[in-house]
């Protein structure tokens, strides 16, 4: 029992020390979906209904899956404003403002 508890605490410690990477949000608003019904659409612009469907089927592995899962969590938790703000900041930076 103590061994299992020790492993759980070690896992929680590793997970809690992960720092979010703000560049992921920038990539989400700049990367286009490479396949499927929304091929060519920015990942940040994919509708929640499609993200829910992908979630039920399983997101692809790798970076694309991580970005899709992130957008799914943002949109299903009512935090879409984050994506709008990042898009605006990226657009300003590209314009040189």
Domain segments of the chain as ranges: 21-95
What Cα–Cα distance (Å) separates residue 47 from each residue in 9, 29, 36, 40?
Answer: 37, 14, 13, 13
If pLDDT is split at 50, 70 and 90, which confidence band does 4 have? very low
Cα distance between residue 80 and residue 73, in whole Å: 10
- Per-residue pLDDT of 6-49, as tens digits, reads 444 455 455 555 667 889 999 999 999 999 999 999 999 999 99
Predicted model pTM: 0.77
């Amino acid at each position: 029992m103590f061994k299992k508890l020790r492993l759980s605490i070690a896992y929680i410690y590793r997970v809690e020390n992960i720092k979010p990477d703000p560049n992921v949000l920038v990539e989400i608003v700049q990367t286009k979906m490479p396949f499927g019904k929304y091929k060519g659409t920015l990942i940040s612009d994919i509708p929640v209904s499609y993200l829910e469907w992908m979630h039920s089927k399983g997101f692809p592995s790798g970076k694309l899956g991580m970005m899709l899962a992130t957008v799914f969590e943002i949109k299903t938790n009512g935090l879409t404003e984050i994506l709008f703000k990042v898009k605006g900041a990226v657009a300003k930076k590209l314009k040189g403002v």
